[in-house]
Every structure is written in structure tokens, then in C-alpha cells.
Structure 1
Amino acid sequence: MGLFFKKKNDAPQASCGCGTGCAAPVESGDTGRMVKVLGGGCAKCNQLEEAAKAAMTELGLTPEVDHITDFSQIAAYGVMTTPALVVNSKVVCYGRVPGKDEVKDLIRKGME
């Protein structure tokens, strides 16, 4: 009877995402950058990245944009349609390529 009623360990287990239960942290995709583009590297993703860099330059910010292409990291943001724009770890636009002026507004609102 001991097999069926084995007490579960209530302590949270560290997992690295590899399924082995090692103690390495799960990578969330956050590298500390404020603006990220999520997408596989297609032409639309590259257009969004360029629009984000141009918008950041006009806002007086350093035009550093992370381009995340790993689909497991993209899915961690809850995005199923790319390209997507992330500002301060929050998805602000996905599934389309906004223009530079709209990206400026999204970045401005995301910084608040």
C-alpha cells in the first residue's frame, strides 16, 4: 500500500528547463535591455527592429534592441504570433509591424 499513498515532497524544486531537475536557473529571456523584438529573423522582424532603433534614437535613448529568435523564449512571453515588441518585460505589440511613430509611442508608454 505504500506505493499508492506516497507522500509528495512539498518543497519547490529548482528546474533548469532541461527536465533533469538540476539547479541551473531557467532563462527568462531578460537580458536587462529595455526593448526587445521577438521573432524568428524574418523580414518583418527585422523591420520592427529597425523601427525600434530609429524610435529610440529619436527619443534620445541608446538604440540597443535585443532580438530574441529562440521560440521557447518567445513562448515564455506568451507570444504566439511574431513579430512582437517588448518594452520593460511587457509585450506591447505583436503580430504586425507598427511604424516608427507608433513604436515611439509604445516605448514612451512602456517606460511609464
Structure 2
Amino acid sequence: MGLFGKKKKGTPPPCCGRTPETAVRVGADKTAASVKVLGSGCARCSALEAAVRAALAELGVDAAIEHVTDFMQIAAYGVMTTPALVVGGRVVSCGCVPGQAELREMLREALEKETLEQGPAV
């Protein structure tokens, strides 16, 4: 809805020409992705870490996985149930070990969002 009977015709493209498609294409290597598994080191935490490694391999993403076991650091993310998964500083899963397909989709979406927020890699 526009003022004075003028309708907005959509948002104009940014001056740099960046679109979601080009941002994903430009940042396609995804080597700097930050992935953290938050948990005490129990069997479920280890299972989540293994599942994340497998999902990242399927997606072709080379990312270092950090396993955080310090409860002060875990609480800083607002996580109360472990295991939890953090991608790009955002908690994407907590309290369960998602299935492989669901985990792969969550990682893909989180990595795309992280790539879009970082801007095009030149």
C-alpha cells in the first residue's frame, strides 16, 4: 500500500547487484562456517557431532566442528537442554539429535543465512 494512490512495485534491487542467488553462488565454498556442538560429552552429544560431520560431508562443506563442554559457555547461548547445535552464532537445534535429513536441511538453511549475512566474498 502506497501513499496517494501510488502502489509500491516491489523493492528495487540493491545497487551492488546482490541477490540471494548470487550471494549463495559467490559464497559457495563455505570453508569458514562456524559450527558448534554444545553438550557435556555424553553419548547423545557425540551422536550429534557424528551426525553433523556426516551431514556437512554430504553438503560438501568443509567446516571445523567445535565441541563446547563448558556449561557457562553453553548457558551464554541460552541453551538449557543439551545437546545443542549452533551454526554461525545461532542455536538451530537443542535437546535432541535430529534425523539425518532434517539435520542436513537445518545446516543448509543456516549456512545459506550465514552466507547472505556475510555478504559476497570478493
> Could you tell me the TM-score, scaled by structure 2's length?
0.63
Specify the code of the residue in structure 2 equivalent to 1:41.
G
More contact order relative to length (CA 8 Å, sep ≥ 6): 2
Equivalent AA in structure 2 for residue 64 of structure 1? A
* C-alpha displacement of 1:41: 0.1
Q: Which runs of 5+ in 1 are unaligned?
A: 1-31
Distance in 2, Cα, partners of 1:92 & 1:51: 14
User: Which residue identity does 2:59 align to in structure 1?
Assistant: L
Q: Percent identity?
A: 54
Give the conservation status (yes or no) of the 8 Å contact 1:35–1:88: yes
> Which residue of structure 2 aligns with residue 102 of structure 1?
102
**Partner residue of 1:86?**
86
Contact preservation (8 Å) 1:85, 1:94: yes
- One-letter identity of the residue aligned with 2:45: C
| 1:86 to 1:58, Cα distance in 2 relative to 1, 3 A | same
| Corresponding residue of 2:60 | 60
Q: CA deviation at 1:64?
A: 2.2
Which structure 2 residue ranges, 5 or more long, are not aligned?
1-31, 114-122
Higher share of residues assigned helix: 2
Provide the rounded CA distance (Å) in 2 between the counterparts of 1:101 and 1:37: 18
> Deviation of residue 101 (structure 1)?
1.5
Which residue in 1 is equivalent to 2:19?
none
Runs of 4+ in structure 1 deviating by more than 6 angstroms, as ranges, are none
Q: Tell me the secondary structure at the aligned position of residue 85 of structure 1.
A: strand
Report the TM-score, using the length of structure 1 for normalisation. Answer: 0.68
Q: How many residues align?
A: 81
Q: What is the Cα-based RMSD across aligned positions, in Å?
A: 1.3
What code does the residue aligned with 1:70 have? Answer: D
